[in-house]
């Protein structure tokens, strides 16, 4: 296992200025063989290393030869990290942080310094990081092959998303999540004017439309998934006929909460799904 620290600065106006990040390089990495790249986005108020440990990333990405980057969001006035993804989650209302440009610049910098398989650049985000994963897919569909959002959501205004290419998408969501609700809602339920976010099903449906998939999803196909310890299997709703060989799926965890106790195979299932869906 090898980790390389990059304090990337490429000019006074670069989105990388003052935001160093770490590239995890798998054992056996060979610059003659382009490797998949995974961007891992932490939840609100979490640290990148905590998110990586929670997912058990090294044990899954190393044998698959995957480069990954787990960057840090920006800290708000309370010292809590956030991604400026949508109005609903989770930046301060007056934030002008352009995390979309920052993360695209991170990808470009890693492509410059490492042999990256441009057809296999993926994003995995939890909660606020899931919102940001959708934002990246909307803004940089030319870069991103696929995303997985765990307990996240799309922008409520689907017209704000205009992807230039199809992107494979999976939303993983628990029906008992009271932070980002499965059925959609607002982060501040007491404020009827607070920005809203759509349901898990609606988030996935929007991407099925973007990708030109068939109008009707196929519940139960493919088979269910073992996502959480001591919990029933998650059901899978998959859209078919999507352009460029992309896949759009909703993995619904009955009684699942916002920070699930992940099964031993959770991360492997997620990563293997992404690897199976490179850019067409």
Question: How much is the pLDDT for 252?
Answer: 97
Does 134 fall in a domain?
yes
Mean pLDDT, to the nearest integer, of 179-208? 94
pTM attached to this predicted model? 0.94
Does 172 fall in a domain?
yes
- Return d(Cα 59, Cα 69) in angstroms, integer: 15
Mean pLDDT, to the nearest integer, of 24-38? 97
Confidence band (pLDDT; 50, 70, 90) for 189? confident
Provide φ and ψ at 117, rounded to 5°: -75, 105
Segment 107-147, tens digit of pLDDT: 999 999 999 999 999 999 999 999 999 999 999 999 999 99
Segment 219-276, tens digit of pLDDT: 766 788 999 999 999 999 999 999 999 999 999 999 999 999 999 999 999 999 999 9
Contact 246, 277 (CB under 8 A): yes
| pLDDT above 70 for 13 | no
The number of folded domains in the chain is 1
Confidence band (pLDDT; 50, 70, 90) for 5? very low
Does 160 fall in a domain?
yes
| pLDDT above 80 for 11 | no
Report the largest interatomic distance among the alpha carbons of the chain, rounded to a whole angstrom: 55
Query: How many percent of the chain have pLDDT more than 90?
Result: 86
Question: How much is the pLDDT for 187?
Answer: 85
- In Å, what is the CA distance from 48 to each residue of 81, 167, 186, 239, 268? 10, 24, 25, 32, 19
Does 280 fall in a domain?
no
> What is the four-CA torsion angle of 140, 141, 143, 148, rounded to 10 degrees?
100
- Return d(Cα 276, Cα 264) in angstroms, integer: 20
Residue 12 makes CB contacts below 8 A (sequence gap 6+) with none
Segment 258-271, tens digit of pLDDT: 999 999 999 999 99
Q: Which one, of 258, 93, 78, lies nearest residue 185 by Cα?
A: 258
Question: How much is the pLDDT for 4?
Answer: 47
Segment 48-89, tens digit of pLDDT: 999 999 999 999 999 999 999 999 999 999 999 999 999 999
Question: How much is the pLDDT for 37?
Answer: 98
| pLDDT above 90 for 2 | no
Q: What is the CATH number of the domain that holds 24?
A: 3.40.50.1820
Segment 140-185, tens digit of pLDDT: 999 999 999 999 999 999 999 999 999 999 999 999 999 999 999 9
Question: How much is the pLDDT for 50?
Answer: 97
Domain span at 82:
2-275
**Beta partners for residue 238, in sequence order:** 218, 249
- In Å, what is the CA distance from 221 to each residue of 93, 151, 157, 250? 40, 21, 29, 11
Does 96 fall in a domain?
yes
């Amino acid at each position: 296992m090898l980790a390389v620290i990059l304090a990337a600065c490429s000019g006074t106006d670069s989105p990388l200025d003052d935001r160093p990040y770490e590239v995890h390089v798998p054992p056996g990495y060979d610059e003659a063989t382009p490797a998949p790249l995974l961007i891992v986005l932490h939840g609100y108020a979490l640290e990148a290393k905590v998110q990586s440990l929670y997912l058990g990333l090294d044990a899954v990405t190393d044998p698959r030869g995957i480069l990954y980057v787990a960057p840090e969001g920006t800290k708000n006035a309370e010292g809590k990290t956030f991604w400026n993804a949508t109005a609903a989650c989770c930046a301060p209302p007056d934030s002008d942080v352009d995390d979309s440009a920052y993360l695209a610049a991170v990808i470009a910098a890693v492509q410059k310094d490492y042999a990256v398989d441009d057809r296999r650049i993926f994003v995995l985000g939890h909660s606020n990081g899931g919102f940001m994963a959708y934002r990246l897919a909307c803004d940089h569909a030319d870069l991103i092959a696929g995303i997985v959002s765990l307990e996240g959501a799309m922008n409520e205004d689907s017209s704000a998303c205009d992807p230039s290419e199809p992107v494979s998408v999976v939303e993983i969501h628990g029906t008992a999540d009271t932070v980002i609700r499965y059925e959609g809602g607002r982060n501040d339920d007491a404020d009827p004017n607070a920005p809203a976010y759509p349901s898990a099903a609606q988030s996935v449906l929007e991407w099925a439309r973007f990708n030109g998939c068939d109008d009707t999803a196929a519940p139960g196909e493919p088979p269910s998934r073992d996502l959480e310890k001591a919990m029933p299997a998650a059901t899978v709703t998959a859209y078919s006929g999507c352009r460029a060989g992309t896949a759009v799926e909703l993995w619904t965890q009955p009684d699942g909460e916002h920070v699930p106790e992940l099964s031993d195979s959770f991360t492997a299932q997620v990563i293997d799904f992404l690897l199976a869906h490179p850019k067409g």
